[in-house]
Homo-oligomer: A and B are copies of this chain.
Amino acid sequence: MPLGANSYGKSGVRLVRIARREGRHDVQDLTVAVRFEGDFAAAHVAGDNADVLPTDTMKNTVYALAKDRGAEEIEEFALALSNHFLGNNPPASRVDVAIEESLWNRLGWTAFEGSSNERRTARVSRSRSGVAVESGLKDLLILKSTHSGFSGFKRDAYTTLKETTDRILATSLTAAWSHASPAGPFAGSWGAVRRTLLDAFAAHESLSVQHTLYAMGEAALDGHPGLSEIRLTMPNKHHLLVDLSPFGRKNEHEVFVATEEPYGLIEATVTRNAQRSDS
């Protein structure tokens, strides 16, 4: 049988790097994934491993290059890793390197506390013909306690939802934006785009999750000319107004039950150029 699309690599390479400068340390906490695509049919069909760089070697390489390079933006580290792997493995046609950074806040010169669940992300996809760099964040919890509604929607025989002009809008934001140039600069860029997204979220008069998602994407592209497009994923973490009327109380948008399931799931890409549709 013909072999179709295939890939292999190492995921979950957990790396903590301490940059030591005269008593003041910086900590970088990364999880790296490396993924090769290419001509590996012999390995699959015949069990011939001659072209297969072990994933254990990929892991070793991540640690060795982490030592050599020292602290840097995760986009730069991903660029370096993908360059190393693609250059040294002719059977690979594409190497993707994805890095997630867990953030730490400073407690002292050499002590830290974990920041939120949010992860800073970078993904470099390098082929023989070019390289694409994506930055992003994932699992950032955000919530608007008002300035959010949902009304005027389509109704059918199964619709029981009430219209509302005042609800909680909460999501666990995942976003990834593409850089027009793989050359960066990346320093400062991530924090600036993140700030734009959060400001747009906080300021928006939301008519739906889609409406706010688009406003955030548009603000990111408007404010950061180096971005070519941005993809946002916003699960709607529903907060339901508790019905207190059986107990003789009126709930004036004060007490909500937070639910996990089911959840709305809203995804969209906003692009700078009409031609691009990501399909």
A residues contacting B by CB (< 8 A) are 1-20, 25, 27, 29, 33, 35, 40, 43-57, 59-61, 63-64, 66-68, 70, 88-89, 104, 107-108, 110-118, 140-147, 150-161, 168, 198, 201-203, 206-211, 213-214, 217-218, 221-222, 229, 231, 235-236, 239, 242, 244, 246-247, 249, 251-274, 276-279
Contact = CB atoms under 8 A, between A and B. Distances in A.
Contacts of A107: 142, 198, 201-202
A256 B15 contact: yes
A224 to B, nearest CB: 12
Contacts of A272: 1-2
B160 A10 contact: no
B247 A158 contact: yes
Contacts of A202: 107-108, 110-111
A276 B108 contact: no
Given A210-B52, A211-B47, A258 B150 contact: no
Copy tally for this chain in the complex stands at: 4
Contacts of A150: 49, 54
A73 B268 CA distance: 32
11 contacts: A1-B272, A4-B229, A7-B266, A8-B264, A16-B257, A25-B145, A55-B265, A68-B249, A88-B156, A89-B154, A114-B143
B255 A221 contact: no
A235 B221 CA distance: 37
Interface centre among A50, A117, A143 (most CB of B within 10 A): A143
Contact of A6 (B116, B145, B242, B269): B269
B156 A56 contact: no
A89 B278 CA distance: 23
A108 B277 CA distance: 33
A208 B236 CA distance: 35
A251 B33 CA distance: 22
B116 A60 contact: no
Contacts of A168: 16, 18
Nearest to A162: B56
Contact of A110 (B20, B147, B207): B147
Interface centre among A211, A229, A231 (most CB of B within 10 A): A211
A244 B60 CA distance: 8
A259 B207 contact: no
What are the 6 A-B residue pairs with the smallest beta carbon separation, nearest first? Answer: A114-B141, A47-B207, A4-B269, A6-B268, A111-B202, A108-B202
Contact of A53 (B16, B153, B277): B153
Contact of A254 (B20, B50, B211, B231): B20
